[in-house]
Amino acid sequence: MPNAARLSVTGSERVGPYTLVRVERRGIEPGAAGQFFMLEAPGRLLPRPFSLCIAPPGELGFLVDPIGPGTEAIAALAPGDEIGVLGPLGNGYRLDVERPLLVGGGIGIAPLPYLLEQLGGSAPVALGFRSAEHAEAASLLPGAEVVVDPVLVTELIEPDSAGRDWDVLACGPEPMLRAVAALCPTAQLAWEAPMACGYGACYGCVVEIDSALKRLCLEGPVLDASRVRPQVEAVA
Amino acid sequence: MRLLNASGCLDALAAPEVARELDGFVTKTVTPLPREGAAPPRIAETAHGMLNAIGLANPGRERFLADHLPRLRELGVPVWVSVGGFCADDYAETCSRLTDIEAVELNLSCPNVDEAADSAAEIVAACRSATPLPLYAKLSAAHPDIAEVARAVAAAGADGLSLVNTLRGTALDKQLRPMLARGSGGYSGPALKPVALHAVRVCAEATGLPIVGMGGVASGRDALEFLACGARDVALGTVLFSDPGAPARVRSELAAACADAGVASPDDAVGIAKTPETGEKITA
């Protein structure tokens, strides 16, 4: 049983079009990078899933893209408000890689700051955003290489000067992840799906994994690229 | 009163700690053949509830019996198996293979697959011949006269009723496209409660059968209302998604709700709801 707690919001700050919501940590462990938490959305029936973005001492921070009533309610939380938090849930990134390259697209940069910290802070980071405003969120990852649409973040994935491939750890929109899977068959991809529960109860979050519909909350959200269908080139 | 989960709202093998807080675990519906289920998106939140179109995803009868059921029995929680199918023989064959479980719930009302060819009463009758286990018929409040269906399944040999299944619903996104890949799904959550309470009242009155009441139960007070309308047992559904601690919470709230209502115990509340004006039970 994952830990559940009601936690006080300790801070909320704008990061480009996103909001970084911080809650007190109390009995909730930050878990492995890439694991996720279900956050109560005030006034809504169902919680929403978020990967952990930052884990400062005593706090947990989540990057929220206010795209609907639930995420808007979470982004509108103010210090002192209390919300229910369940987690950490699912499977995160494996950190036993030799040459990590972090690749993020849009709100998919969310798990990367905590992942970078877990890796010791020294891995290269490549980020892609759809606009300059969205790219302001790159401030969460100082030193990252950043591209803005129409340049794609996958264009930054090249063998290093010695010609060696990277161990790509990625998170972003599905087309980006499929493109990364095609480029880097050994990549680890943090996938996304609508979820009602986060712990295997609702069967709502299925995605095609190993050629079958499986619950992302239990199998992922971080998946080996070999388990998903890579991007297929369009046939004229 | 026993506190159960609504079928399809908990995976006891994935979350055994949650299942152990219940007085019985009801499985996801088992069909004769494996079903991968509906394409995603499968769930959508609405203003007062949620839609799901899971499509009876399940491992199929043989794998359920060989692999899942033995592991479920080891949890130490009474197991209710939800049985589904597409004709009476489908249901009956599965029932005949079930042993060493608490009860069978016949899913006669899944909103996300085509209806079985046979009537609810025909299915219950076939299952009655196939098993001595307690048979609970799960009905939908979408039927114009659910009490009539309840009487028919009672006459066919049902030992109890599970009320209610979800209602079909549709939700659209900003671009006016259906939010679910299937277009429509089963509507559950708080909005279902008044519909479910009515179904429990009229079916309790019509049959006198034991009823597992469900539909929007999120608190001890909600559970007490189902009991007052005639349910003997109560199941938690959608609330488990947002609160895996709901079983223990609802149980403790129920004790307080009984005290608030001046009822000695949950079992003493069964069927006590009366109309304010006549003091009589409402029928249809």
Query: DSSP states of A135-195 as a string?
Result: HGGGGGSTT-EEEETTS-GGGG----TT-PPPEEEEES-HHHHHHHHHH-TT-EEE-----
- Mean pLDDT for A167-172 is 97
Give how far A223 is from chain B: nearest CA, Å: 18
**Does any domain span residue A134?**
yes
Question: CA-nearest residue of chain A to B13?
Answer: A200
Q: What is the CATH number of the domain that holds A194?
A: 3.40.50
Measured at the CA of A104, the angle between CA B242 and CA A32, to 5 degrees, comes to 50
Which pLDDT score is estimated for A236?
Answer: 45
Q: Are residues A22 and A133 in the same domain?
A: no
Could you say which DSSP state residue B66 is in?
I
Among chain B residues, CA nearest to A39: B242
Q: What is the pLDDT of residue B229?
A: 98
* Residue contact A203–B44, C-beta within 8 A: no
Which among A2, A193, A201 is the nearest to B40, CB-wise?
A193
Q: Is residue B203 annotated as a catalytic residue, yes or no? A: no
Q: Do A148 and A223 share a structural domain?
A: yes
Residues within 8 A of B (CB atoms), A 198-227 only: 199-207, 212-213, 218
Residue B164, preceding peptide bond in cis (omega within 30° of 0): yes
- Three-class SS of residue A219? helix
Which one of A201, A213, A218 has the shortest CB-CB distance to B240? Answer: A201
Tell me whether residue A28 is in a domain: yes
Domain B3-37+56-167+189-269: CATH architecture, name and number where available: Alpha-Beta Barrel (3.20)
A83 lies in the same domain as A114: no
Note down the domain range covering A42.
3-89
Residue A58 banded pLDDT, cuts 50, 70, 90: very high
- Looking at beta carbons, which residues of chain A come within 8 Å of B28? 203
Q: Which two tokens stand for residue B143?
A: 């039927």
- Kindly state whether residues A155 and A214 are assigned to the same domain: yes
- DSSP class of residue B196 equals H
Q: Any bridge partners for residue A8, and if so which?
A: A82
Instruction: Answer yes or no: are the C-beta atoms of A91 and A84 closer than 8 Å.
Output: no
Nearest to B155 by CA among B208, B199, B105, B234: B208
| pLDDT at residue B94 in the model | 98
d(CA B72, CA B63) in angstroms, rounded, equals: 13
pLDDT of the residue at A231: 76
Domain assignment of residue A234, yes or no = no
A45, A204, A205: residue with CB nearest B49: A45
Angstrom distance (rounded) from CA B239 to CA B219: 9
Dist. CA B78–CA B60, nearest whole Å: 21
d(C-alpha B224, C-alpha B256), whole Å? 10
Residue A162 confidence (pLDDT): 79
Residues A184 and A220 in one domain: yes
Domains of chain A: total: 2
Residue B115 contacts A where some CB pair is shorter than 8 Å: no
Q: Is residue A94 part of a domain?
A: no
Q: What is the pLDDT of residues B52-89, one digit of tens each?
A: 999 999 999 999 999 999 999 999 999 999 999 999 99
Q: How distant, in Å, are the alpha carbons of A103, A151, B268 from that of A137? A: 14, 17, 59
Torsional class of A191: left (φ above 0), alpha (ψ -120 to 50), beta (otherwise): beta
Question: Which of residues A89, A117, A140 is at a domain's end?
Answer: A89
Transcribe A29-86 into DSSP letters.
---STT-EEEE--TTSSS-EEEE--B--TTEEEEEE---SHHHHHHHT--TT-EEEEE
Exactly one of B9, B87, B95, B110 is catalytic; name it: B110
CB pairs under 8 A between A and B: 98
Report the range of poorest mean pLDDT among A85-89, A91-95, B172-176, B277-281: B277-281
ω into residue A88 within 30 of 0, thus cis?
yes
CATH number at residue A67: 2.40.30.10
Give yes or no for A46 touching B (CB within 8 A).
yes
Is the pLDDT at A179 greater than 90? The verdict is yes
Domain membership flag for residue A235: no
Average pLDDT, chain A: 95
Q: Provide mean pLDDT across the span A199-213.
A: 97
Give contacts of B 180-209 with A, CB under 8 A. 189-190
Same domain flag for A132 and A43: no
Asked whether residue A47 is domain-assigned, the answer is yes
Is residue A26 a part of any domain in this protein? yes
Q: What is the mean pLDDT of chain B?
A: 95
Answer with the one of A46, A64, A89 that is the final residue of a domain: A89
Q: Which tops the pLDDT comparison, B74 or A27?
A: B74
Average pLDDT for A92-115: 97
Residue ranges of chain B with per-residue pLDDT less than 50: none
Residues 6+ apart with CB under 8 A from B178: B170, B171, B172, B184
Q: Do A40 and A125 sit in the same domain of this protein?
A: no
- Inter-chain residue contact B8 with A4, CB threshold 8 Å: no
Nearest CB to B42: which of A2, A46, A204? Answer: A204
